[in-house]
Structure 1
Amino acid sequence: FDEDYLDPDSDINKMGRALALGGELDDFTASLKDTFTTPGSQWQYVSIDTHVIGMVVRGATGRSVTDLLSEKIITPMGLEHAPYYVTDGAGVAFVLGGLNLTTRDYARMGQMFLQNGRYNGQQIVPADWIAASTAPSAPTAEGQIGYGYQWWIPQGATEGEFMARGVYGQYIYINRADGVVIATNAADRKFREAGVSDQNIAIFRQISAALGGT
């Protein structure tokens, strides 16, 4: 799955065209047959894998991801504004992206993870899942950014430092030692250029240190 957003012939842009014509993301996902290596032998992030997780969740529960997210996360947290979901031709919400929240509500999600899954006085996500999901468990290349269960772990991360990272430079950065959460929405077409991500992380760390005093 070629995820070069700036290449019109990449798989991610073929997916976009299929959906623009009313296609279903499940069908597009199931049509992908090629592999670049033996399964389990190499790690590579691709968004379509996250959609597969969504397919599994829907199949296991018999419920939509939006209903589950509303019941388990959105309603207990009490966000300021209702989320807006991008959906395919069948009305099925994306899981690989397309969850639109205000920046303040993205920050609330980060705050909940900062607090080990607690928010509004209740345990919304189990603390052991928070710990497992934010640990660098994926076999990424040495010296490269780490990855857990849908969370990124920067190079040289301190204990409790992790982030969500989206296309075009969107982030939820969490630094538990400093007690800091930084959420950014962005539209940076140069987000994949060399050094841009490292620069963003360096800025987050400087802000975090200034606020947290470390």
Structure 2
Amino acid sequence: GRVVALGGRLDDFTAELTETFAEPGSQWQYVSIDTHVIGMVVRGATGRSVPELLSEKVIAPLGLEHAPYYIVDGSGTAFVLGGLNMTTRDYARFGQMFAQGGEWNGKQVVPADWVTASTNPTAPTAEGQIGYGYQWWIPVGAAEGEYMARGIYGQYIYVDTARDVVIATNAADRKFREAG
């Protein structure tokens, strides 16, 4: 937060990180900066910004009601670890597209095999704890096809494909990290 507040580049901060909390592959723990690294890799591989790619590949096909708002660092690079702001209805539209196997209005927006792979609990989380796929959380005791996206302070997209349910919420819960 300090780097960004002072106009710094999140990429520079990320590249300077050298300390680890465990040997690679020995323990899983969600770390937001890892998601930013994914964005750095995508930008490096494509030569395009994440908002540009997301707009072309996902947002335009979904026909969102309002353009997303991105939080950016001092160089104007959009965060990937958070900071994608959309209306609740547009978050729900994104969730519905995933619930439909990546399809929206007859067009395959996200490959169906990616939807399946990304929403399965593949991270080695502790027994009895929330599961994690590829950027999706899987609730404890979830049935197949039940998963969610969650943002800090209470933004959620909950998907239950078996029941054909998608629930999206936006919130400002400053006690998000507290139990209960």
In the alignment, what sits opposite 1:144? 129
In the alignment, what sits opposite 2:87? 102
Alignment partners' CA distance in 2, 1:192 and 1:62: 36
Superposed structure 1 runs of 4+ greater than 6 Å apart: none
Q: Once the two structures are superposed, what CA deviation does each residue of 1:131-152 show, in whole Å capped at 9, x if it has no partner?
A: 0000000000111110000000
1:120 deviates by 1.6
Q: Output the TM-score relative to the length of structure 1.
A: 0.83
* 2:160 is the alignment partner of 1:160: no
In the alignment, what sits opposite 1:117? 102
Question: How many residues in Structure 1 have an aligned counterpart in Structure 2?
Answer: 180
Alignment partners' CA distance in 1, 2:46 and 2:162: 36
* 2:35 is the alignment partner of 1:35: no
In the alignment, what sits opposite 1:83? 68
In the alignment, what sits opposite 1:172? 157
Q: What SS does the aligned partner of 2:149 have?
A: strand
Which one has the largest radius of gyration? 1
Q: Once the two structures are superposed, what CA deviation does each residue of 1:65-88 show, in whole Å capped at 9, x if it has no partner?
A: 111101100111100001111111
Alignment partners' CA distance in 1, 2:174 and 2:62: 32
Identity among equivalent pairs (%): 78
In the alignment, what sits opposite 2:40? 55
* 2:74 is the alignment partner of 1:74: no
Alignment partners' CA distance in 2, 1:168 and 1:91: 23
Q: Mean Cα displacement is larger for which, 71-80 or 184-193?
A: 184-193
Q: What SS does the aligned partner of 1:163 have?
A: strand
Structure 2 unaligned regions, length at least 5: none
Instruction: With a CA cutoff of 8 Å and minimum separation of 6, indicate the structure with the bigger relative contact order.
Output: 2
1:33 deviates by 1.1
1:34 deviates by 0.7
Alignment partners' CA distance in 1, 2:153 and 2:64: 24
Alignment partners' CA distance in 1, 2:154 and 2:49: 28
Alignment partners' CA distance in 2, 1:100 and 1:136: 25
Alignment partners' CA distance in 1, 2:175 and 2:70: 25
Letter in 2 for 1:169: G
Structure 1 unaligned regions, length at least 5: 1-15, 197-214
Q: Output the TM-score relative to the length of structure 2.
A: 0.98
* 2:6 is the alignment partner of 1:21: yes
Q: Once the two structures are superposed, what CA deviation does each residue of 1:96-120 show, in whole Å capped at 9, x if it has no partner?
A: 0111100000000000000000012
